[in-house]
Amino acid sequence: MRSAFVIAAPWSGSGKTTVTLAVLAALQRRGLRVQAFKVGPDYIDPAHHARITGRPSHNLDTWMIPRAVNRRLFHASAADADVAVVEGVMGLFDGVDGTRPEGSTAHLARTIRLPVVLVVDARSMARSAAALVQGFASFTPRVPITGVVWNRVGSPTHRRILDEALAAAGLPPALGALPPEPGLALPERHLGLVTPEDAALPPAWEDRLAAWIEDHLDLDRLLERTPPPPPPRLPVPRRRAGTRTVAVARDAAFCFYYDENLRLLERAGARIVRFSPLAGDGVPPDADAVYLGGGYPEVHAERLAANQAFLDGLRGFHSQGRPIYAECGGFMVLCRSLETPRGGRVPMAGIFPAEARMRSGRFHLGYREVVVQGVAGMDGLTARGHEFHYSELVAPPQGVETVYRVRNARGEELGREGYRSGAALAGYIHLHFASCPDLPLRWLGLSGPRPCRAETRN
């Protein structure tokens, strides 16, 4: 590996996603093999990374994922790459709360020993921008800021003033100054950026991204200032032999999966078979278990409802006692009906007697820790993940068991979740399987590697 670095920002909205995508595109255009990563619980940004690089982009997170797994995942994924680019989350030091570093971009950079490139929105700023950079550079000395990228710079004179201020304060140098380019912005909707599956981007969009960076950022200097960290000596997970087939719904309605979750299942012996309900696929007949991830079922509700082979397949799978695991959007599809953003009510699989509805003013967001209770052989298993949804249940399913005791990142009790109906386990919480491999593996009928209790956390 020639170079590795984190692209961070003082706050959300500074342009780090656009800058990250542009850097990826420019490096790809140079013929370099680029491995992308995303800090935090995000599915959409990694999907855009993968579209540009042609490689899966992996999530790194020091609250959800054990530190050793973060290191192993980074070094194993980037081992054959020329450059590793990690996109940060929120502001550089924003994490689980106002006192702890866990979950922040800075903590991840420190854990893996990566330099940070700080993207600063310089609109309406001059010398004050240097004061801002100085504060970030000195806040935690163990998080080295190796350079600054000015974004939304108004003119060459503006850029000269910004650079002079950095130099006069003895701060890391500016590596580039990017002018506003509104045509490069990605479209958004209720859960953030539009996914690559649904984004109608012009064919030349990636070329424009790359040209924007090549014209206004010194890529050679960036690569020179960001040497990769030494790889640690970590055990390499071995793949187990197995015969269990796990069917994974994968299309524009079911697109929120951590790639590492699927790889963990494969290492445990699962054969992953992807199918597309939107394309008319039913549940694969040879499946031993079904995994329904999150996504946008509310956007495609009518098409899902029209696929009776899919819905009947789920009902039949459930009646036969075969395991189903569903998160967020997947859970919504297992409900009796789904109310769309336009107010229509569409029938779904009906495995859980509840109606899911969209509520634009009710946003559920945050880290979550779950402790399993009441499941033979799984009691006490502790896993971590997050919630990120606008939908809610009209009323909790009556008579349906809940098997998760839920806490937030502060350890505050949030009640119960994790709805269980026979061999179907579903809820709004997206779990990162690396936080507790035993939980999904045991539920799906695969052998788990080791117990994961609260005391084994970071």
Q: How far apart are CA 434 and CA 229, in angstroms?
A: 23
Give the residue among 346, 456, 451, 369 at the shortest CA–CA distance from 418: 369
Give the Cβ contact number of residue 68 at 10 Å. Answer: 14
- Give me the half-sphere count of Cα atoms (radius 13 Å) on the Cβ side of residue 65: 27
The β-bridge partners of 368 are 385
Q: Which two tokens stand for residue 239?
A: 């793949």
**What is the phi/psi pair of residue 237, to 5°?**
-60, 140
The β-bridge partners of 189 are 192
- Give me the half-sphere count of Cα atoms (radius 13 Å) on the Cβ side of residue 218: 11
Q: How far apart are CA 443 and CA 422, in angstroms?
A: 11
Count Cβ atoms within 10 A of the Cβ of residue 412 and give its class: 0-12 exposed, 13-18 middle, 19 or more buried: exposed
328, 335, 436, 452: the active-site residue: 328
13, 93 Cβ separation under 8 angstroms: no
Over the Cα atoms of the chain, what is R_g?
A: 23
Cα of first residue to Cα of last residue in the chain, in angstroms, is 28
Tell me if residue 328 is catalytic: yes
Active-site positions? 328
